[in-house]
Amino acid sequence: MPTIDFHVHLADYQQPTESLRDGIRRHSGLELEAFVQEWSDPRRYLAYMDEQGVDYSVILAEITPITTGVADNDLVARFCSASPRLVPFATIHPHLTADPARELERLVRERGLRGLKLYPTYNYFYPNDAVLYPVYATAERLGIPVMVHTGSSVFTGSRLKYGDPLYLDDVAVDFPRLSLLITHGGRPFWYDRAAALARLHPNVSIEVGGLPPQRLPDYFGDLERLAPRLIFGSDWPGVPRSVGDNIAAIRALPLTEAAKERILGGNAARLLGLENV
Ligand SMILES: [Zn+2]
């Protein structure tokens, strides 16, 4: 079974905010320019994946000019063209895009993007906003997963009220064949809601990027039962330790081997159509 990191950001941002600069400094000890110089080459990131024991990484576009900056869909598509081990995910900013559903279809069909990430707390919309319904319908028809940031963020300007996973209940009900991922599991005070939604809806999973793996049983309860709906992600470069340390912490959880394999790659492989690798 491959090991898949479902939550990786680019190093390179257009229009980086001060808040992003602070975050990079805190996590890497480098100024943004030096960090970008080291990491903007996909071969450097692929070498890091080899070191850390990661087979595939989902690379996320981010059009969030208020909070972090812009790492747009073209930048992600170009970065991921270096290797099939890099899986490009698009983003749509619903307030800055004239026809979000058409744009998603173009990105998938013409640019080869393979999933969608939405940033409600950075772009100020509720995940069940009617403006997004054509986007969800398109993603469902194209068979691509949609991950939605929920819960808190360290970046200035993020508004937590848009991060309540409960709004995804509407989306899960209205688009039963759409695969939805609750990114960060509703951190820090909606973990119970995220777990309830994942247990209730067969099309909803929790992606654990940014959460300390050893705390997952405290947050979500019976992980063995929830394992078919848990997906590993690191949130690199905002990862407190190395990606490999986080993988080791998942492996150290008191779970069956089968559950760990599902969390570390089995569930993600199914969502991404990577089963036969
Ligand atoms: Zn992230």
Q: In the numeric block, which tokens belong to residue 193? A: 């809601």
User: Could you list the mean pLDDT of each consecutive 10-residue stretch along the chain, which spans 277 residues?
Assistant: 97 94 93 95 98 98 95 97 98 96 98 98 98 98 98 95 98 98 97 98 97 97 97 93 96 98 98 79
Does some domain include residue 139? Answer: yes
Does some domain include residue 215? Answer: yes
Residue 196: per-residue pLDDT? 98
CB-CB contact of 200 with 176 (8 Å): no
Domain ranges, residue 232: 4-272
CA angle centred on 168, ends 164 and 174, rounded to 5°: 160
User: Near ion ligand 1, which residues have CB within 5 Å?
Assistant: 235
Does some domain include residue 59? Answer: yes
Residue 275: per-residue pLDDT? 67
Residue 276: per-residue pLDDT? 57
Does some domain include residue 277? Answer: no
Question: Residue 172 is which amino acid?
Answer: A
Does some domain include residue 27? Answer: yes
**What gap in Å lies between CA 270 and CA 64, rounded to an integer?**
29
CB-CB contact of 250 with 223 (8 Å): no
209 Cα–ligand 1 center, Å: 7
214 Cα–ligand 1 center, Å: 19
- Overall domain count for the chain: 1
117 Cα–ligand 1 center, Å: 10
Residue 189: per-residue pLDDT? 93
184 Cα–ligand 1 center, Å: 8
89 Cα–ligand 1 center, Å: 12
Q: In the numeric block, which tokens belong to residue 92? A: 């749509």
CB-CB contact of 260 with 252 (8 Å): no
Does some domain include residue 177? Answer: yes
Residue 240: per-residue pLDDT? 77
CATH of the domain at 205: 3.20.20.140
Residue 241: per-residue pLDDT? 84
**What gap in Å lies between CA 248 and CA 277, rounded to an integer?**
22
62 Cα–ligand 1 center, Å: 9
153 Cα–ligand 1 center, Å: 9
Q: What count of other Cβ atoms lies within 10 Å of the Cβ of residue 215? A: 12
Does some domain include residue 262? Answer: yes
Query: pTM of the entire structure?
Result: 0.97
CB-CB contact of 61 with 75 (8 Å): yes
Q: Looking at the DSSP assignment, which residues form a beta bridge with residue 64?
A: 69
Residue 55: per-residue pLDDT? 97
Burial of 168 (0-12, 13-18, 19+ CB in 10 A): buried
115 Cα–ligand 1 center, Å: 15
Does some domain include residue 111? Answer: yes
